Amino acid sequence: MTTIRRLDHIAIAVTDTDDAIARLGGGLGLPVVCREEIEQPPVRLTYLDCGNALIQLVEPLDEETPIARFLAEHGEGLHHVCFGVDDVPSGAAALSPDGTSPSALGSGRGRPSAFVAGKPPCGVAIEVTEFRHDEDVEEAPGWLDPDS
């Protein structure tokens, strides 16, 4: 059994990051805390601060990526939920219905991450990422200051 330390982020598949930021960031007042493009899979990741967790906007940079296929089939919307864990490979294996280890590790915000293998529970894919106490607890206020 693995210990889930926190909800790290909820990922939303989007076709246009800037449009999504205007709708979510501007509409809800959620500030952008990090933007990056990763090579494998080629996606743009943008993180919005929700106080005690993040919203991750995921935009495909290639038509052949899994996220592009997801968007073509489902349209924009919830893609996965990500939990912070102490050990990514063992955490992903522990959350897999049959104990299968992840086939590949990814990275977002410079942290190891992996998707849990097997059929997603309740139809929602689950990812795990490395929990970092200093960043996730000590440096995170846990709430949004409306005056900042």
pLDDT in tens, the chain (148 residues): 668 999 999 999 999 999 999 988 777 888 999 999 999 889 999 999 998 899 999 999 999 999 999 999 999 999 999 999 999 999 999 888 888 888 777 888 989 999 998 888 788 899 999 999 998 888 877 777 767 6
pLDDT of residue 1: 61
* Cβ-based neighbours of 63, under 8 Å, separated by 6 or more: none
Q: Please name each of the domains of the chain with its CATH number.
A: 4-138 (3.10.180.10)
pLDDT of residue 123: 82
Measured between alpha carbons, how far is 35 from 139 in angstroms, rounded to an integer? 18
pLDDT of residue 79: 95
Answering whether pTM is above 0.85, one says yes
Using the CB atoms, write b or e for 68-105: b if 16+ within 10 Å.
bebbeeeebeebbbbbbbeebeebbbbbbeeeeebeee
